[in-house]
Amino acid sequence: MSIFAALLGPIADLGKTYLTNKAEAKQAIHTAKITAIQNDADWESKMADASNGSWKDEFWTVILAIPIFMVGYAVALDDMTIVMRVEASFQALEKLPEWYQYLLFIAISSSFGIKGVGKLMELRK
């Protein structure tokens, strides 16, 4: 064995170890991402099962639709005082404490299974 081969062997082993470690790190990141996706899917499945007999979705759908029906009713009967009452209701809701508005927003969002409430709250500002 020559001196040249004796010097290149450890350098080649060092390079091989570096590449192996890099590949293992990428594999670990990939495995962590797959696990996170699986956990997320499991959570969504559990939440869907838990809300199977729930009335929350229907309740909030009706509550959110009331202003639309009231405005339609007002237009049909040509009674704009109803529209003014709807506007006054929204103005009253705006005056509620901010913490209560956030809790209401979170409750409604979770009822419909909307995730990422923090991102949605940023859009509100």
CA angle 104/52/70 to nearest 5° reads 45
Give me the mean pLDDT over the 63-81 stretch.
92
Domain ranges of the chain: 1-50
Residue 82: pLDDT above 90?
A: yes
Tell whether the model's pLDDT for residue 1 goes beyond 60: no
Q: Of 29-38, 50-59, 68-77, which has the strongest mean pLDDT? A: 68-77
Sorted by sequence, the CB contacts under 8 Å of residue 109 that are 6+ apart come out as 117, 120
For the ranges 37-41, 50-54, 67-71, the one whose mean pLDDT is highest: 67-71
For residue range 112-122, list pLDDT tens digits in order.
766 655 665 66
pTM of the model as a whole: 0.47
